[in-house]
Amino acid sequence: MGSLRFDGILFVVYPNDHLPRHVHAFLSEAEVIVDLLEDSNVALADRKDAIRPANAKRSDVKKLLHSAVLHFEELVALWEKIHGTAQGRHNRS
Domain ranges of the chain: 2-83
pTM above 0.95, yes or no: no
The answer, yes or no, to whether residue 88 has pLDDT greater than 50, is no
Rounded Cα gap, residues 81 and 2, in angstroms? 8
pLDDT of residue 85: 81
Q: What mean pLDDT value characterizes the chain?
A: 92
Spatial distance between the Cα atoms of 36 and 33, rounded to a whole number of angstroms: 10
CB 76 within 8 A of CB 36: yes
Cα 79 from Cα 53, distance rounded (Å): 24
| Top-confidence residue, 93 or 31 | 31
Confidence class for position 92, pLDDT limits 50, 70, 90:
very low
